[in-house]
Structure 1
Amino acid sequence: MSGLRTSRTRLAAAAATAVLAALSLTACNDGTGAHDEGAAATTSTSSSSAAASSGAASGSTGSTGSTGSTGSSGGRSTGGSTTGSKPAADGSASKASGASGKPVTCEGSDTRTVAAPLNRPVNHMLLTVTNTGSRTCFLYGYPAVRFGEAQSVPPVIEDSQPQAVVTLEPGQSGYASVSLSATDGSGSNGHTAKSLAVYFQGRSMSGSVGAGAHPSLPAKGVYVDDSLKVTYWQQSMNDATNW
Protein backbone atom coordinates (compact mmCIF):
# COMPACT_ATOMS: atom_id res chain seq x y z
CA MET A 1 0.00 0.00 0.00
CA SER A 2 2.71 2.27 0.97
CA GLY A 3 4.48 1.62 -2.37
CA LEU A 4 1.29 2.39 -4.26
CA ARG A 5 0.99 5.77 -2.54
CA THR A 6 4.57 6.58 -3.36
CA SER A 7 3.97 5.76 -7.02
CA ARG A 8 0.89 7.94 -7.08
CA THR A 9 2.76 10.77 -5.47
CA ARG A 10 5.49 10.50 -8.08
CA LEU A 11 2.92 10.42 -10.86
CA ALA A 12 1.22 13.52 -9.45
CA ALA A 13 4.54 15.31 -9.21
CA ALA A 14 5.39 14.36 -12.78
CA ALA A 15 1.98 15.56 -13.94
CA ALA A 16 2.46 18.88 -12.14
CA THR A 17 5.84 19.27 -13.75
CA ALA A 18 4.34 18.58 -17.16
CA VAL A 19 1.60 21.15 -16.51
CA LEU A 20 4.20 23.76 -15.48
CA ALA A 21 6.26 23.02 -18.58
CA ALA A 22 3.17 23.42 -20.74
CA LEU A 23 2.34 26.73 -19.03
CA SER A 24 5.91 27.93 -19.57
CA LEU A 25 5.75 26.95 -23.23
CA THR A 26 2.45 28.76 -23.60
CA ALA A 27 3.92 31.85 -21.93
CA CYS A 28 6.83 31.82 -24.39
CA ASN A 29 4.55 31.60 -27.41
CA ASP A 30 1.73 33.99 -26.45
CA GLY A 31 3.77 37.17 -27.51
CA THR A 32 4.18 38.46 -23.95
CA GLY A 33 7.38 36.87 -22.69
CA ALA A 34 10.87 36.44 -24.03
CA HIS A 35 9.43 36.63 -27.55
CA ASP A 36 8.22 40.18 -26.77
CA GLU A 37 11.63 41.23 -25.51
CA GLY A 38 13.23 39.88 -28.66
CA ALA A 39 10.78 41.88 -30.77
CA ALA A 40 11.51 44.99 -28.72
CA ALA A 41 15.20 44.42 -29.24
CA THR A 42 14.56 44.04 -32.97
CA THR A 43 12.47 47.22 -32.97
CA SER A 44 15.18 49.01 -31.02
CA THR A 45 17.82 47.80 -33.50
CA SER A 46 15.66 48.94 -36.42
CA SER A 47 15.22 52.34 -34.77
CA SER A 48 18.96 52.61 -34.23
CA SER A 49 19.59 51.69 -37.86
CA ALA A 50 17.05 54.27 -38.99
CA ALA A 51 18.68 56.85 -36.75
CA ALA A 52 22.08 55.91 -38.14
CA SER A 53 20.72 56.16 -41.68
CA SER A 54 19.18 59.50 -40.83
CA GLY A 55 22.47 60.62 -39.32
CA ALA A 56 24.31 59.43 -42.41
CA ALA A 57 21.84 61.29 -44.55
CA SER A 58 22.36 64.35 -42.38
CA GLY A 59 26.09 63.89 -42.67
CA SER A 60 25.64 63.53 -46.39
CA THR A 61 23.59 66.70 -46.41
CA GLY A 62 26.30 68.23 -44.31
CA SER A 63 28.67 67.11 -47.01
CA THR A 64 26.32 68.66 -49.52
CA GLY A 65 26.50 71.53 -47.13
CA SER A 66 30.14 71.09 -47.83
CA THR A 67 29.10 71.19 -51.43
CA GLY A 68 27.19 74.09 -50.07
CA SER A 69 30.66 74.92 -48.91
CA THR A 70 31.61 74.53 -52.55
CA GLY A 71 28.64 76.76 -53.07
CA SER A 72 30.30 78.80 -50.41
CA SER A 73 33.38 78.50 -52.55
CA GLY A 74 31.24 79.76 -55.36
CA GLY A 75 30.19 82.42 -52.93
CA ARG A 76 33.84 83.18 -52.40
CA SER A 77 34.20 83.78 -56.10
CA THR A 78 31.82 86.70 -55.76
CA GLY A 79 32.29 87.82 -52.20
CA GLY A 80 34.99 85.68 -50.62
CA SER A 81 38.55 84.87 -51.46
CA THR A 82 38.34 85.46 -55.20
CA THR A 83 36.71 88.82 -54.61
CA GLY A 84 39.23 89.30 -51.88
CA SER A 85 42.02 88.65 -54.36
CA LYS A 86 40.54 91.10 -56.83
CA PRO A 87 40.44 93.96 -54.34
CA ALA A 88 43.98 92.86 -53.45
CA ALA A 89 44.98 93.45 -57.04
CA ASP A 90 43.02 96.67 -57.00
CA GLY A 91 44.56 97.43 -53.66
CA SER A 92 47.99 96.96 -55.26
CA ALA A 93 47.05 99.41 -57.97
CA SER A 94 45.81 101.81 -55.31
CA LYS A 95 49.01 101.27 -53.36
CA ALA A 96 51.06 101.93 -56.50
CA SER A 97 48.98 105.02 -57.06
CA GLY A 98 49.47 106.04 -53.44
CA ALA A 99 53.19 105.37 -53.81
CA SER A 100 53.22 107.74 -56.76
CA GLY A 101 53.22 110.69 -54.38
CA LYS A 102 52.02 114.22 -54.98
CA PRO A 103 51.82 115.86 -58.45
CA VAL A 104 54.95 117.25 -60.08
CA THR A 105 55.76 119.74 -62.82
CA CYS A 106 55.64 118.30 -66.33
CA GLU A 107 59.04 118.37 -68.02
CA GLY A 108 61.05 116.46 -70.60
CA SER A 109 62.02 113.49 -68.40
CA ASP A 110 58.45 112.42 -67.59
CA THR A 111 56.67 113.37 -70.82
CA ARG A 112 56.80 112.69 -74.55
CA THR A 113 56.46 115.67 -76.91
CA VAL A 114 55.35 115.44 -80.55
CA ALA A 115 55.40 118.37 -83.02
CA ALA A 116 53.09 118.09 -86.03
CA PRO A 117 52.44 120.74 -88.74
CA LEU A 118 48.73 121.60 -89.20
CA ASN A 119 46.82 122.16 -92.41
CA ARG A 120 44.41 124.39 -90.50
CA PRO A 121 45.11 126.93 -89.27
CA VAL A 122 47.72 127.35 -91.98
CA ASN A 123 51.34 127.96 -91.01
CA HIS A 124 50.66 126.40 -87.61
CA MET A 125 52.14 123.49 -85.68
CA LEU A 126 50.56 121.48 -82.86
CA LEU A 127 52.62 120.44 -79.84
CA THR A 128 51.29 117.41 -77.97
CA VAL A 129 52.77 116.58 -74.56
CA THR A 130 51.87 113.19 -73.03
CA ASN A 131 52.53 112.29 -69.40
CA THR A 132 54.65 109.12 -69.46
CA GLY A 133 55.41 109.15 -65.73
CA SER A 134 53.64 107.50 -62.80
CA ARG A 135 52.54 110.76 -61.17
CA THR A 136 50.14 113.50 -62.16
CA CYS A 137 51.98 116.49 -63.59
CA PHE A 138 51.10 120.14 -64.24
CA LEU A 139 51.78 122.00 -67.47
CA TYR A 140 52.38 125.55 -66.31
CA GLY A 141 52.25 128.57 -68.59
CA TYR A 142 53.25 128.01 -72.19
CA PRO A 143 56.02 126.18 -74.08
CA ALA A 144 59.34 127.95 -74.46
CA VAL A 145 60.27 126.87 -77.98
CA ARG A 146 63.54 127.34 -79.83
CA PHE A 147 63.74 126.62 -83.55
CA GLY A 148 67.21 125.93 -84.88
CA GLU A 149 69.81 128.31 -83.45
CA ALA A 150 67.36 130.95 -82.18
CA GLN A 151 68.61 132.83 -79.14
CA SER A 152 65.21 133.84 -77.79
CA VAL A 153 61.81 132.28 -77.35
CA PRO A 154 58.68 133.59 -79.07
CA PRO A 155 55.99 135.47 -77.15
CA VAL A 156 52.71 133.93 -76.00
CA ILE A 157 49.22 134.84 -77.23
CA GLU A 158 47.85 136.29 -73.97
CA ASP A 159 44.20 135.76 -74.91
CA SER A 160 44.79 132.00 -75.05
CA GLN A 161 45.39 131.68 -71.30
CA PRO A 162 43.12 128.94 -69.86
CA GLN A 163 41.10 129.30 -66.67
CA ALA A 164 43.02 126.58 -64.87
CA VAL A 165 46.44 124.97 -64.96
CA VAL A 166 46.55 122.03 -67.36
CA THR A 167 46.67 118.81 -65.34
CA LEU A 168 47.86 115.54 -66.87
CA GLU A 169 47.19 112.20 -65.24
CA PRO A 170 49.58 109.43 -66.36
CA GLY A 171 48.86 108.74 -70.04
CA GLN A 172 46.95 112.00 -70.64
CA SER A 173 48.02 114.72 -73.08
CA GLY A 174 48.09 118.52 -73.14
CA TYR A 175 48.39 120.78 -76.20
CA ALA A 176 49.71 124.09 -77.48
CA SER A 177 49.84 125.49 -80.98
CA VAL A 178 52.65 127.46 -82.60
CA SER A 179 51.98 130.13 -85.22
CA LEU A 180 55.08 129.66 -87.39
CA SER A 181 54.83 132.59 -89.79
CA ALA A 182 52.54 135.38 -90.96
CA THR A 183 49.95 134.15 -93.45
CA ASP A 184 50.09 137.40 -95.41
CA GLY A 185 53.88 137.29 -95.78
CA SER A 186 54.38 140.34 -93.58
CA GLY A 187 56.84 138.59 -91.28
CA SER A 188 60.56 139.30 -91.47
CA ASN A 189 63.71 137.22 -91.15
CA GLY A 190 61.96 134.13 -92.50
CA HIS A 191 64.02 130.95 -92.64
CA THR A 192 63.69 127.17 -92.54
CA ALA A 193 64.35 125.51 -89.20
CA LYS A 194 65.42 121.86 -89.03
CA SER A 195 65.38 121.33 -85.27
CA LEU A 196 63.18 122.21 -82.31
CA ALA A 197 63.65 122.30 -78.53
CA VAL A 198 60.73 122.67 -76.13
CA TYR A 199 61.26 123.76 -72.52
CA PHE A 200 58.79 123.70 -69.64
CA GLN A 201 57.95 126.41 -67.13
CA GLY A 202 57.63 125.96 -63.38
CA ARG A 203 54.84 127.19 -61.15
CA SER A 204 56.38 130.63 -60.84
CA MET A 205 56.62 130.84 -64.65
CA SER A 206 59.91 132.66 -64.25
CA GLY A 207 62.00 130.26 -66.31
CA SER A 208 62.32 126.70 -67.53
CA VAL A 209 62.59 123.69 -65.21
CA GLY A 210 63.80 120.14 -65.64
CA ALA A 211 64.82 118.60 -68.93
CA GLY A 212 63.74 119.97 -72.28
CA ALA A 213 62.14 117.96 -75.10
CA HIS A 214 63.48 117.66 -78.64
CA PRO A 215 60.64 116.53 -80.92
CA SER A 216 61.56 115.80 -84.51
CA LEU A 217 60.47 118.06 -87.39
CA PRO A 218 59.60 117.07 -90.97
CA ALA A 219 62.70 116.21 -93.00
CA LYS A 220 62.34 119.38 -95.07
CA GLY A 221 62.07 121.48 -91.88
CA VAL A 222 59.51 124.21 -91.16
CA TYR A 223 59.44 127.83 -92.25
CA VAL A 224 59.40 130.41 -89.44
CA ASP A 225 59.69 134.20 -89.28
CA ASP A 226 59.61 136.97 -86.68
CA SER A 227 55.82 136.69 -86.26
CA LEU A 228 56.40 133.37 -84.48
CA LYS A 229 54.25 132.99 -81.33
CA VAL A 230 52.71 130.25 -79.17
CA THR A 231 49.56 129.60 -77.14
CA TYR A 232 49.35 128.67 -73.48
CA TRP A 233 49.14 124.97 -72.77
CA GLN A 234 45.56 123.73 -73.21
CA GLN A 235 43.68 120.76 -71.84
CA SER A 236 42.09 119.98 -75.22
CA MET A 237 43.37 119.98 -78.80
CA ASN A 238 40.45 122.10 -80.00
CA ASP A 239 41.31 124.88 -77.56
CA ALA A 240 44.90 124.84 -78.79
CA THR A 241 44.02 125.05 -82.49
CA ASN A 242 41.55 127.91 -82.06
CA TRP A 243 44.38 130.48 -82.11
Structure 2
Amino acid sequence: MSHAAFLARHARTIRSVAAGLTVVAAGLTLTACGDNDGTGAKSSGKADSSVTAPADQGGADAGARGESGTGGTESGGTGGNGTGGTGGAKDTAEQAGKASQQNGGAAQQNGGGAASDGEREIGTCDVNKAMVTVDSVKRPINHLLLKFTNRAGVDCEVPSFPILRFDDAQAATPAAGETTPQSVITLAPGESAYAGITTSRGDDPDAGGADMSQLGVSLEGLDAETTLDLPGGSVYVDNTAQVTYWQNSASDALTW
Protein backbone atom coordinates (compact mmCIF):
# COMPACT_ATOMS: atom_id res chain seq x y z
CA MET A 1 0.00 0.00 0.00
CA SER A 2 1.30 3.36 -1.00
CA HIS A 3 1.66 6.14 1.50
CA ALA A 4 -1.01 8.21 -0.27
CA ALA A 5 -3.51 5.35 -0.19
CA PHE A 6 -2.84 4.88 3.54
CA LEU A 7 -3.48 8.52 4.26
CA ALA A 8 -6.71 8.49 2.27
CA ARG A 9 -7.99 5.43 4.13
CA HIS A 10 -7.03 6.88 7.47
CA ALA A 11 -8.90 10.09 6.66
CA ARG A 12 -12.08 8.13 5.80
CA THR A 13 -11.83 6.23 9.11
CA ILE A 14 -11.58 9.49 11.06
CA ARG A 15 -14.62 10.92 9.24
CA SER A 16 -16.64 7.79 9.97
CA VAL A 17 -15.77 7.92 13.69
CA ALA A 18 -16.58 11.63 13.80
CA ALA A 19 -19.93 11.03 12.12
CA GLY A 20 -20.70 8.26 14.60
CA LEU A 21 -19.81 10.45 17.53
CA THR A 22 -22.06 13.20 16.11
CA VAL A 23 -25.03 10.80 15.89
CA VAL A 24 -24.43 9.54 19.43
CA ALA A 25 -24.16 13.08 20.72
CA ALA A 26 -27.38 14.06 18.96
CA GLY A 27 -29.16 11.06 20.46
CA LEU A 28 -27.94 11.92 23.93
CA THR A 29 -29.11 15.52 23.46
CA LEU A 30 -32.60 14.44 22.39
CA THR A 31 -32.83 12.04 25.30
CA ALA A 32 -31.76 14.72 27.72
CA CYS A 33 -34.32 17.20 26.32
CA GLY A 34 -37.18 14.73 26.26
CA ASP A 35 -36.66 12.89 29.54
CA ASN A 36 -34.90 15.28 31.88
CA ASP A 37 -35.90 18.80 33.07
CA GLY A 38 -32.60 19.39 34.75
CA THR A 39 -33.78 18.12 38.13
CA GLY A 40 -33.97 14.40 37.35
CA ALA A 41 -37.77 14.40 37.03
CA LYS A 42 -39.59 13.32 33.87
CA SER A 43 -41.29 16.05 31.89
CA SER A 44 -42.96 14.20 29.00
CA GLY A 45 -46.44 15.23 27.86
CA LYS A 46 -48.17 12.49 29.83
CA ALA A 47 -46.15 13.20 32.94
CA ASP A 48 -47.12 16.88 32.77
CA SER A 49 -50.78 15.97 32.44
CA SER A 50 -50.71 13.55 35.38
CA VAL A 51 -49.01 16.14 37.63
CA THR A 52 -51.07 19.17 36.59
CA ALA A 53 -54.49 17.50 36.84
CA PRO A 54 -54.39 16.81 40.61
CA ALA A 55 -53.22 20.41 41.19
CA ASP A 56 -56.22 21.77 39.25
CA GLN A 57 -58.57 19.35 41.00
CA GLY A 58 -57.17 20.39 44.37
CA GLY A 59 -57.82 24.04 43.55
CA ALA A 60 -61.42 23.27 42.56
CA ASP A 61 -61.95 21.26 45.74
CA ALA A 62 -60.49 24.10 47.78
CA GLY A 63 -62.81 26.56 46.05
CA ALA A 64 -65.86 24.33 46.73
CA ARG A 65 -64.92 24.31 50.41
CA GLY A 66 -64.42 28.10 50.38
CA GLU A 67 -60.70 27.58 51.14
CA SER A 68 -57.59 29.19 49.77
CA GLY A 69 -55.20 27.19 47.54
CA THR A 70 -52.29 28.50 49.60
CA GLY A 71 -52.52 26.38 52.72
CA GLY A 72 -56.21 25.99 53.60
CA THR A 73 -56.76 29.52 54.99
CA GLU A 74 -60.45 30.49 54.62
CA SER A 75 -60.68 33.35 52.16
CA GLY A 76 -63.96 33.24 50.22
CA GLY A 77 -62.37 31.45 47.20
CA THR A 78 -58.79 32.62 46.42
CA GLY A 79 -57.69 29.17 45.24
CA GLY A 80 -61.13 27.92 44.38
CA ASN A 81 -61.50 29.76 41.09
CA GLY A 82 -64.48 31.86 42.36
CA THR A 83 -66.56 29.02 43.81
CA GLY A 84 -65.83 29.96 47.42
CA GLY A 85 -66.66 33.60 46.61
CA THR A 86 -70.17 32.53 45.59
CA GLY A 87 -70.61 30.86 48.98
CA GLY A 88 -69.44 34.05 50.72
CA ALA A 89 -71.94 36.11 48.70
CA LYS A 90 -74.72 33.72 49.73
CA ASP A 91 -73.77 34.09 53.39
CA THR A 92 -73.73 37.89 53.01
CA ALA A 93 -77.19 37.84 51.40
CA GLU A 94 -78.54 35.70 54.23
CA GLN A 95 -77.09 38.08 56.82
CA ALA A 96 -78.59 41.05 54.98
CA GLY A 97 -81.98 39.30 54.98
CA LYS A 98 -81.80 38.68 58.72
CA ALA A 99 -80.83 42.32 59.32
CA SER A 100 -83.78 43.44 57.20
CA GLN A 101 -86.15 41.26 59.21
CA GLN A 102 -84.76 42.69 62.45
CA ASN A 103 -85.15 46.22 61.14
CA GLY A 104 -88.70 45.40 60.07
CA GLY A 105 -89.46 44.04 63.55
CA ALA A 106 -88.02 47.17 65.12
CA ALA A 107 -90.12 49.32 62.79
CA GLN A 108 -93.26 47.40 63.76
CA GLN A 109 -92.40 47.84 67.43
CA ASN A 110 -91.83 51.57 66.86
CA GLY A 111 -95.11 51.78 65.02
CA GLY A 112 -96.88 50.00 67.92
CA GLY A 113 -95.36 52.52 70.34
CA ALA A 114 -96.64 55.40 68.20
CA ALA A 115 -100.15 53.89 68.18
CA SER A 116 -100.03 53.60 71.94
CA ASP A 117 -99.09 57.29 72.22
CA GLY A 118 -102.01 58.19 69.96
CA GLU A 119 -104.40 56.28 72.27
CA ARG A 120 -103.20 58.03 75.43
CA GLU A 121 -105.91 58.49 78.06
CA ILE A 122 -107.50 61.94 78.35
CA GLY A 123 -106.96 63.53 81.75
CA THR A 124 -109.13 65.75 83.89
CA CYS A 125 -109.21 69.46 83.13
CA ASP A 126 -107.35 71.87 85.41
CA VAL A 127 -109.02 75.09 86.58
CA ASN A 128 -105.58 76.70 86.57
CA LYS A 129 -105.36 76.00 82.83
CA ALA A 130 -108.83 77.24 81.99
CA MET A 131 -110.83 80.43 81.75
CA VAL A 132 -113.78 80.30 84.18
CA THR A 133 -116.48 82.97 84.18
CA VAL A 134 -119.84 83.47 85.88
CA ASP A 135 -122.58 85.74 84.45
CA SER A 136 -126.13 86.69 85.31
CA VAL A 137 -128.97 85.87 82.89
CA LYS A 138 -132.40 87.43 82.31
CA ARG A 139 -134.17 84.12 81.95
CA PRO A 140 -134.76 82.14 83.97
CA ILE A 141 -134.75 84.53 86.93
CA ASN A 142 -132.50 83.91 89.91
CA HIS A 143 -130.01 82.03 87.74
CA LEU A 144 -126.32 82.36 86.95
CA LEU A 145 -124.39 80.79 84.05
CA LEU A 146 -120.97 79.25 84.73
CA LYS A 147 -118.66 78.82 81.74
CA PHE A 148 -115.47 76.69 81.71
CA THR A 149 -113.13 77.07 78.68
CA ASN A 150 -110.19 74.67 78.17
CA ARG A 151 -106.88 76.54 77.75
CA ALA A 152 -104.55 73.58 78.44
CA GLY A 153 -103.59 72.95 74.81
CA VAL A 154 -104.72 69.29 75.02
CA ASP A 155 -108.06 67.53 75.30
CA CYS A 156 -109.42 67.15 78.83
CA GLU A 157 -112.58 66.10 80.68
CA VAL A 158 -114.75 68.10 83.06
CA PRO A 159 -116.04 65.52 85.57
CA SER A 160 -119.63 65.45 86.83
CA PHE A 161 -120.55 68.92 88.11
CA PRO A 162 -118.62 71.94 89.43
CA ILE A 163 -117.93 72.16 93.15
CA LEU A 164 -119.21 75.59 94.25
CA ARG A 165 -118.82 77.52 97.49
CA PHE A 166 -120.37 80.95 97.95
CA ASP A 167 -118.25 83.20 100.14
CA ASP A 168 -117.24 81.24 103.26
CA ALA A 169 -119.98 78.58 103.11
CA GLN A 170 -119.03 75.34 104.79
CA ALA A 171 -120.92 73.06 102.40
CA ALA A 172 -120.74 72.92 98.64
CA THR A 173 -123.80 73.79 96.57
CA PRO A 174 -125.71 70.55 95.82
CA ALA A 175 -126.06 69.26 92.24
CA ALA A 176 -129.37 68.72 90.44
CA GLY A 177 -129.32 64.97 89.72
CA GLU A 178 -131.84 65.21 86.87
CA THR A 179 -129.30 67.13 84.79
CA THR A 180 -126.79 64.26 84.58
CA PRO A 181 -125.55 64.04 80.93
CA GLN A 182 -125.28 60.76 79.02
CA SER A 183 -121.48 60.92 79.02
CA VAL A 184 -118.60 62.88 80.49
CA ILE A 185 -117.97 66.18 78.69
CA THR A 186 -114.64 66.20 76.81
CA LEU A 187 -113.18 69.53 75.79
CA ALA A 188 -110.71 70.13 72.99
CA PRO A 189 -108.47 73.19 73.38
CA GLY A 190 -110.67 76.31 73.19
CA GLU A 191 -113.95 74.45 73.74
CA SER A 192 -116.30 75.25 76.66
CA ALA A 193 -118.63 73.47 79.07
CA TYR A 194 -121.49 75.14 80.93
CA ALA A 195 -123.34 74.78 84.23
CA GLY A 196 -126.49 76.56 85.37
CA ILE A 197 -126.77 77.83 88.95
CA THR A 198 -130.08 78.39 90.69
CA THR A 199 -129.43 80.97 93.42
CA SER A 200 -132.84 80.91 95.14
CA ARG A 201 -136.46 79.82 94.70
CA GLY A 202 -137.86 83.12 95.82
CA ASP A 203 -141.03 81.50 97.19
CA ASP A 204 -139.76 80.02 100.44
CA PRO A 205 -139.55 82.54 103.30
CA ASP A 206 -137.93 79.96 105.52
CA ALA A 207 -135.10 79.10 103.09
CA GLY A 208 -132.87 81.65 104.69
CA GLY A 209 -130.35 83.44 102.57
CA ALA A 210 -127.86 86.26 102.28
CA ASP A 211 -126.07 88.37 99.74
CA MET A 212 -122.90 86.68 98.45
CA SER A 213 -120.05 88.44 96.68
CA GLN A 214 -117.67 85.64 95.64
CA LEU A 215 -117.86 82.16 94.22
CA GLY A 216 -115.20 79.49 94.61
CA VAL A 217 -115.09 76.95 91.73
CA SER A 218 -113.26 73.61 91.65
CA LEU A 219 -113.61 70.28 89.86
CA GLU A 220 -114.69 67.02 91.45
CA GLY A 221 -111.77 65.10 92.90
CA LEU A 222 -109.28 67.99 92.57
CA ASP A 223 -108.12 70.49 95.18
CA ALA A 224 -107.30 73.39 92.83
CA GLU A 225 -109.84 76.20 93.07
CA THR A 226 -110.41 79.52 91.36
CA THR A 227 -112.36 82.37 92.98
CA LEU A 228 -114.70 84.58 90.95
CA ASP A 229 -116.44 87.86 91.75
CA LEU A 230 -120.21 87.58 91.41
CA PRO A 231 -121.88 89.83 88.80
CA GLY A 232 -123.23 93.13 90.08
CA GLY A 233 -121.09 92.96 93.21
CA SER A 234 -123.39 90.55 95.07
CA VAL A 235 -126.12 87.95 94.52
CA TYR A 236 -128.78 86.76 96.96
CA VAL A 237 -128.32 83.05 97.65
CA ASP A 238 -130.50 80.88 99.89
CA ASN A 239 -130.63 77.26 100.99
CA THR A 240 -132.44 76.13 97.81
CA ALA A 241 -129.44 76.92 95.58
CA GLN A 242 -128.40 74.16 93.13
CA VAL A 243 -126.00 73.66 90.25
CA THR A 244 -126.39 71.49 87.15
CA TYR A 245 -123.93 68.92 85.83
CA TRP A 246 -121.61 70.18 83.10
CA GLN A 247 -123.39 70.56 79.74
CA ASN A 248 -122.26 71.08 76.15
CA SER A 249 -124.28 74.28 75.67
CA ALA A 250 -125.55 77.24 77.67
CA SER A 251 -129.15 76.49 76.72
CA ASP A 252 -128.90 72.95 78.11
CA ALA A 253 -127.43 74.35 81.33
CA LEU A 254 -130.32 76.80 81.84
CA THR A 255 -133.36 74.75 80.72
CA TRP A 256 -134.02 72.03 83.26
Distance in 1 between residues matched to 2:241 and 2:127, nearest whole Å: 22
Measured after TM superposition, the shift of residue 174 of structure 1 is 0.1
TM-score by length of 2: 0.52
Which residue is equivalent to 2:126?
107
Question: Which of residues 192, 195, 200 is equivalent to 2:219?
Answer: 200
| Residue pair 1:104, 1:135 contacting (<8 A) in 2 also | no
Distance in 1 between residues matched to 2:223 and 2:185, nearest whole Å: 17
Which residue is equivalent to 2:233?
220
C-alpha RMSD over aligned residues: 2.1
Deviations 1:78-114 (A, max 9, x none): xxxxxxxxxxxxxxxxxxxx89x64220121121110
Distance in 2 between residues matched to 1:133 and 1:187, nearest whole Å: 43
Question: Which of residues 137, 159, 171 is equivalent to 1:140?
Answer: 159
1:16-35 equivalences under 5 Å are none
1:152-191 equivalences under 5 Å are 152-186=171-205, 188-191=207-210
| Residue pair 1:113, 1:214 contacting (<8 A) in 2 also | no
Distance in 2 between residues matched to 1:133 and 1:115, nearest whole Å: 20
SS in 1 for 2:181: coil
Letter in 1 for 2:240: S
Which residue is equivalent to 2:170?
151
Distance in 1 between residues matched to 2:139 and 2:206, nearest whole Å: 19
Question: Which of residues 123, 141, 149 is equivalent to 1:122?
Answer: 141
| Residue pair 1:112, 1:131 contacting (<8 A) in 2 also | yes
Change over 3 Å in CA distance of 1:168–1:220 after alignment to 2: same
Unaligned 5+ residue runs, structure 1? 1-97, 202-207
SS in 2 for 1:223: strand
Distance in 1 between residues matched to 2:206 and 2:237, nearest whole Å: 9
Measured after TM superposition, the shift of residue 186 of structure 1 is 4.0
| Residue pair 1:187, 1:225 contacting (<8 A) in 2 also | no
Question: More deviation in 108-117 or 123-132?
Answer: 108-117
Question: More deviation in 178-187 or 139-148?
Answer: 178-187
Change over 3 Å in CA distance of 1:187–1:121 after alignment to 2: farther
| Residue pair 2:199, 2:238 contacting (<8 A) in 1 also | yes
SS in 2 for 1:105: coil
Unaligned 5+ residue runs, structure 2? 1-116
Distance in 2 between residues matched to 1:229 and 1:187, nearest whole Å: 17
Pair member with larger Rg: 2
Which residue is equivalent to 2:242?
229
Which residue is equivalent to 2:19?
none
Deviations 1:155-175 (A, max 9, x none): 111110000101100000000
SS in 2 for 1:240: helix
Which residue is equivalent to 2:25?
none
Report how many residues are paired: 141
